[in-house]
Chain A
């Protein structure tokens, strides 16, 4: 049996010594830190994808460590530093942002280091065997919508990074916690009181940030890729009527290419795979202000044409 939550005190001991190994889809992260909030967050959010390797020389795709930087000033300022494979990656950041920085850093590792997939800045969820990709810039209500749909039974493949298999053009799951900001945190907590949240990071550059644990069902299916049936560009607009409109494939192609981290790195391969994805999917733009109505629209999506 796998525990729903592992006590932070237990995680803390391993995290400060050999580290803990977090697996998510095709990637594994070896994490080390002496920050208690990180131990708590990992215990809350990653209990089902966590192992304790007992030795640090275990294979991982990314070896991440978060520790206070050396030097008295940084210690007095209560700062911590993000290390990837022993290298400092970002400027020191406040200790109370550590949990948010860990999640952002884990995304950064994939989006900058991995080119064996086409990677799009988009949420991706699945229902009845087809994935819906939701590409959107920050502030579009993508994560709030994604969190709600996932709580309503959609499978989470990713809240932030849509990975596309360069051979099959299918979506590859990386079901990690969903990052929610500011009002969205309370909206989801009130709508879904059973949902499990990690530690709150306040006053970050993006405001207050808190991560929502992905459902067990999504984690269990983390190795099952999924054909992409819909590409939907969501936009939250206060007081807007709910509106799902067909979007032309050419426009969809260009917007996805612009939202991709490595489209230009992949060159011809990127063009070919994106063409295949857009060919197969139904494309829409989607405006909403009311989450109940938004959920209803997704529940009523027509089955995509045969893929």
Chain B
């Protein structure tokens, strides 16, 4: 599944944290550590998928399954926050 940012969003970064602001809802979300790293990577992409995100943090968690689970949880959180939409929607 391909995802893309539901632009516009605003963000601010400090060290290992990023705060993302959703224009339409006015809600603000904090992401830190690996999530922050991944979000920054995919901000520069028009669209991205699980495989791309998994490749960005490969080897940084205990196992490949942990990597998959982490990415999947992050995608779910971004979708719930209405920050991204899946390409087919």
- Chain A residues packing against B (C-beta within 8 Å): 248-251, 253-254, 257, 263-264, 267-268, 271-272, 275, 278-279
Contacts and interface: CB of A to CB of B under 8 A. Distances in A.
A263 B28 CA distance: 10
B15 A248 contact: yes
Q: Would you call the interface of chain B mostly helix, strand, loop, or mixed? A: strand
A267 B21 CA distance: 9
A254 to B, nearest CB: 5
Contact of B17 (A250, A263, A275, A279): A250
Contacts of A271: 10, 12, 21, 28
Nearest to A275: B12
Interface residues of B, number: 15
A264 B30 contact: no
14 contacts: A248-B15, A248-B17, A249-B15, A249-B17, A250-B19, A250-B32, A251-B30, A253-B12, A253-B28, A254-B28, A267-B23, A268-B21, A271-B10, A272-B10
B88 interface: no
A254 B32 CA distance: 12
B83 interface: no
Nearest to B23: A268
Contacts of B17: 248-251
A22 to B, nearest CB: 34
Nearest to B28: A257
A253 B15 contact: no
Given A250-B32, A253-B12, A275-B12, A264 B18 contact: no
Interface of B: 10, 12, 14-19, 21, 23, 26-28, 30, 32
Contacts of B21: 268, 271
Given A254-B28, A279-B14, 16 more contacts: A248-B14, A250-B17, A250-B30, A250-B32, A253-B12, A253-B28, A254-B19, A263-B28, A268-B10, A268-B21, A271-B10, A271-B12, A271-B21, A275-B12, A275-B19, A279-B12
A249 B14 contact: yes
A248 to B, nearest CB: 6
A264 B27 CA distance: 7
B29 to A, nearest CB: 9
A267 B26 contact: yes
A143 B21 CA distance: 31
B62 to A, nearest CB: 25
Given A249-B15, A268-B23, A254 B10 contact: no
B26 A264 contact: yes
Interface pairs A-B: 8 shortest CB-CB: A250-B17, A249-B14, A271-B21, A275-B12, A264-B26, A250-B30, A254-B30, A253-B19
Contacts of B23: 267-268
Nearest to B13: A250
